[in-house]
Structure formats: structure tokens, C-alpha cells
Structure 1
Amino acid sequence: MRAITQIIFTSVLSGLAFQANAAVELKGELVQGALVRAQVQPGTQVFLNDEPVKVNAQGDFVFGFAREAQLEQMLKLVYPGGLTQLKPLTLKKRAYKIQNITGISKKIMKPDPKAQARAAEDSKQVKVARAQFTASNAFNQDFIWPLTGRISGVYGSQRIYNGKPGTPHYGVDVAAKTGTVVVAPADGVISLSVPDMFYSGGTMIIDHGYGVNSSFLHLSKLYVKPGDIVKQGDKVAEVGSTGRSTGPHLDWRINWYQMRLDPTTVVPSMKSVLAREK
């Protein structure tokens, strides 16, 4: 009887020890628009709201929450050996900058069919670039700003024209002179490099692995081509005002596959970076 009790007690301790190790570490704020990096025990299967998430050999993975993501999310972790853990995630709701603009003529509001057709072709190229998967672990680096300066546009902001909501802004704009050098915020591979897209002008996408990619818009000059490998800090382009832009700036965007996220969730605040540069 004593031997049986000891075996049961040992099994309970082993189970508790396993559960203690069966944890997930999250790196990033749980908020709408955020990119979140995480780590689990190697060999663990991960699901976000029942959708599988790819995990590398070291147990690292990444996921994101859209601009208007539901505040209640669920991670499911299936550990080697079969233990399943459900981890509820509660996001913080964000308030976005909304601007109402009235009195715009119907002529301006009416879309140009030719422009729409060209923009649709551009969009197809962008979607293909963002859909690809590479096994690079660069997504897990500490990202840096591709350039520093005054932030002139923020993620999630939206204009409402004559009562009709426009497309939200999905990047962060950094004002800079035309020709200012833009660097890679993390290691990656160039998956798109086009000098003249209709809306975004000079456009570049860097694939950082596991669905994470950076997009740079309105560039005046592109230094690299698709397939080129870049390291964090490498010079890749120059700021411009190409495409539908009202002035020179860099529009930097972060995606997890097709999900549009806020780049400021993966870098230090611009204020802190500028303070260090002084």
C-alpha cells in the first residue's frame, strides 16, 4: 500500500512539475493592432482561436491582433505528451484618431475606374508577397526604427468624407526630406520592390519570417531587389513623396501575413529614441 501511495505521489509531483514548465511567455502588449512574439516548450502545438500558428524548433512563434480585433481571444497549447492548456487573452481596446471632412464635391468622391484597375493589380502583388512563409527567425529580433524623426501619421487613424468612412491608415508616417535613407528594421529578405505603384508609389516589402513583414511606401529610390538578403540597419531605400502622397515621408507598415498591425508595438517610442540621439 505504501509503495502504491508513493508512486501516486511521485506521479502527481511529476504532473505539477510538467505543468509548471508548460507555460507560454508573451513579449508585447495585449492590445488591438499589436504584434506579439511568444515562446513555449519546443514541440508544442499552438492555436489562436482554433487556427494553427507555426512554431519554430526553439518554441518561438508570433501572432497579431487586427485594428478592430475582438477583445477576448484564446490561445490553445498542446504540449508534447498530449497535455492541452487553454490560455484566455484579454486585449485592451484602442481609441483611434477619427477626422470628419464634409463639403467634398461628388466629382472628387467618384472613383476613377482606370485608377481602381491599376490599384487592384498593385494590391495583388502586395498580397502575394505578404502571403508567403519563410522559416527565418528574424521576426524575433528587437526591431529598430527604419528612420527617426517627427511622426506625422499614426496607425488606425481614419477620415470620414461626407459621412462615408475612408480606409483607415494602417502605418506610421515619419516625416523626412526626400532622399533621407531608410534602413531595414530587422533582418529579412526582399519580397517586393516596385518603384511606381499607383497609391503607394515606390514600394518595398521585407519578409522577416513566420508571416511577419515590413512595408515601406512612397519611396523615391529603392536600393535592393526581390530575393536580396538584408541585415538589420542595412540601407534599403530613400524617403520620397511618390504615389498619392501630400509630402515627403516614410509610411512604414507591419503585417502578420495579411493582418495589418501597428509598427509602434515592436519598437521603442520615437521620443525615447530621439532623446538618445541628442
Structure 2
Amino acid sequence: MISNLAKPLIILLFLISNSHASEVSFHGKFVQGGIIIGHSSLAEKVFFDGRELQISNDGNFIFGFGRNHKKSSIIKLKFPNKTETYNVDIKKSDYKIEKIDGLPSKMVTPGPELYERIKNDRVLIGQALKEDYQSEKFTNKFIWPSKGRISGIFGSQRILNGIKKNPHGGLDIAAPTGTPIKAIADGKVLMAEKGLYYTGNIVIIGHGYKLKSMYIHMEDINVSKGDKVSQGDVIGTIGMTGRATGPHLHMNIYWNRIKINPELLLEM
């Protein structure tokens, strides 16, 4: 068990063998929605809950926990002469639940005439999330994508007319239409599309090792699929396209198609 899991941390685990001592570090929060950047100079393979992770040339690797991740996880590191296994506790997060009744039905459930359009939109997004981009800069500090008021947080959920809607999977930043949106890190544009039903104008950027950022409800898009971007590049502007009631940026962070709390990444 690793203690102090609720705090930002760097954990050093000293693994002693007959011939050498290796150092393993984990940086981040072991909490639902958290993201961890690990490092080992000598591990040949790293597994997270049975899934083998990619290891960079510098010995870095990354993994994360979804909104409802289980109470514990297993991290296994294979070295030339032995294997080390660690059981780590994952702190439970508390999420805001909001109930709203008396809404018109069209605001709760889209009409059947929209089903095919929504399905096609999801296919486009899914294809982009399947793509990967090889970059080893995922260990660099990430920057906030825009300035504004935080109007929506990760994990919150609305119950509309008694129907549970999908939990809020990202971070909302409210700001006037036209406010610049910046790439939070170096990467490659995996998707840049306009006019999707829910998301409106959308950009997805791959940052390497299955880490991706998604920007939606944009007004303008300044990039195209396949473009390479640098941290701080203006990729577009805040808007209220798609299903949005006011101008804001909704940003999702994905690791291996799992939604991660953006604030926990930006605070690292």
C-alpha cells in the first residue's frame, strides 16, 4: 500500500537486487480521474492492471484512472533479474449530482431523426481516439488552454426529468466568443471537424503514449488534421457550437480512451 494518495506526490521505490539498485518514481495523484507519470531507468517492462505500458527511451511511462476506477490497482515492473509488484490504493472522488425536472423532452433526449447523425459523429471521434502519435514530450508540464471562468468540472452528473445523463467528462472554461484556445502541449492534430451535433466544432490532439486532448464547442478552428502543433499554439477560438447554452471551451483529456480529470493533469 502506498500512503498519502490524495496529495500530488513523487514516490520513490528502491528495488534492490544482488547486483544493482534501481529507482522507480510516480508523479501524480492516485485518485479516481488521476493521471500518473512514472519513471524507471532499468525496468524492461511495466504493467498496469495487466496491461503492458509503453516505455519511452528515457524510461518514462504513463497511466491513468477513470471516473469510477476500482479501489486499487496493480503495478508490475519486470527487471533483468526479477519482477516487482505493487498494490496501490486509489482514492475515491466525490462528484456533484444535480437534478433538474420539468424540462422539454427535446432538451433531454434528441429526436429519432438525429440518431444517424449522432452515430456518425461518434464514429469519427472514435476513429481519432484510436490513432496514436509517438512523442516523448508527455512528461513536460502542460499549460491551461484558455483564460476564463471554470463553469463545469470533471465527474459531475445531471439527472434530467429523472433520466441520468452521462457524467461530465471534462473541464468547462467559460469566456467570450473568440477567446483564443491554445494547445496544452506539443502534439499532432488527429481530428479537426466542424458541425458535429453534440460537440460542434472539435479538435483532438495526440500528445504521445495514448495521451490525447479534445477541445469542443469551438467557434473557429485554425488547424487541420495531420498538423503538428507546439505547446501554446492558438488552435482556434472559444464558441458555443453544438449542444452548448453559452460560449465556453469544453476540454477532455484521454489516456487510452479513458477520460481523465483535466485539472489533475494541468496541476502536475
Query: TM-score, with normalisation over the residues of structure 1?
Result: 0.87
Please name the residue that 2:178 is paired with: 179
Please name the residue that 1:101 is paired with: 100
Once the two structures are superposed, the pairs formed by residues 23-34 of structure 1 within 5 Å of their partners are: 23-34=23-34
Counterpart CA distance in 2 for 1:191 and 1:107 is 32
State the 1:41 CA deviation. Answer: 2.1
Richer in strand (by share): 2
**Counterpart AA for 1:77:** L
Please name the residue that 2:250 is paired with: 251
Say whether the 8 Å CA contact 1:156–1:170 is kept in structure 2: yes
Gaps of 5+ in 2: 1-15
Aligned Cα root-mean-square deviation (Å): 1.7
* Deviates further, 92-101 or 131-140: 131-140
Counterpart CA distance in 2 for 1:201 and 1:89 is 39
Deviation track 1:248-270 (CA, whole Å, cap 9, x = no partner) reads: 0000110012101111011139x
Deviation track 1:54-73 (CA, whole Å, cap 9, x = no partner) reads: 11121111111000000210
Provide the identity percentage.
Answer: 35
Please name the residue that 2:54 is paired with: 54
**Counterpart AA for 1:101:** I
Counterpart CA distance in 2 for 1:140 and 1:120 is 35
Secondary structure class of the residue paired with 1:36:
strand
Once the two structures are superposed, the pairs formed by residues 1-278 of structure 1 within 5 Å of their partners are: 15=17, 18=20, 20-21=21-22, 23-79=23-79, 81-106=80-105, 109-268=108-267
Aligned length: 253
Secondary structure class of the residue paired with 1:94:
coil
Counterpart CA distance in 1 for 2:239 and 2:185 is 21
Richer in helix (by share): 1
Counterpart CA distance in 2 for 1:138 and 1:124 is 28
Say whether the 8 Å CA contact 1:42–1:57 is kept in structure 2: no
Deviation track 1:219-277 (CA, whole Å, cap 9, x = no partner) reads: 000000011111001111100000000000000110012101111011139xxxxxxxx
Counterpart CA distance in 1 for 2:113 and 2:49 is 40
Structure 1 stretches of 4+ with a deviation exceeding 3 A read 104-111
Secondary structure class of the residue paired with 1:126:
helix
* Deviates further, 111-120 or 177-186: 111-120
Secondary structure class of the residue paired with 1:179:
coil
Please name the residue that 2:7 is paired with: none
Residues 1:109 and 1:224: Cα distance change in structure 2 (over 3 Å)? closer
Counterpart CA distance in 2 for 1:168 and 1:55 is 31
Secondary structure class of the residue paired with 1:139:
helix
State the 1:42 CA deviation. Answer: 4.3
Whichever of the two has the greater Rg, that structure is 1
Residues 1:252 and 1:106: Cα distance change in structure 2 (over 3 Å)? closer
Counterpart CA distance in 2 for 1:17 and 1:165 is 56
State the 1:136 CA deviation. Answer: 0.5
**Counterpart AA for 2:92:** K
Say whether the 8 Å CA contact 1:98–1:157 is kept in structure 2: yes
Query: TM-score, with normalisation over the residues of structure 2?
Result: 0.90
**Counterpart AA for 2:126:** K
Secondary structure class of the residue paired with 1:220:
strand
State the 1:162 CA deviation. Answer: 2.8
Gaps of 5+ in 1: 1-13, 270-278
Deviation track 1:55-107 (CA, whole Å, cap 9, x = no partner) reads: 1121111111000000210001111x141000111111100010012233556
Counterpart CA distance in 1 for 2:186 and 2:108 is 41
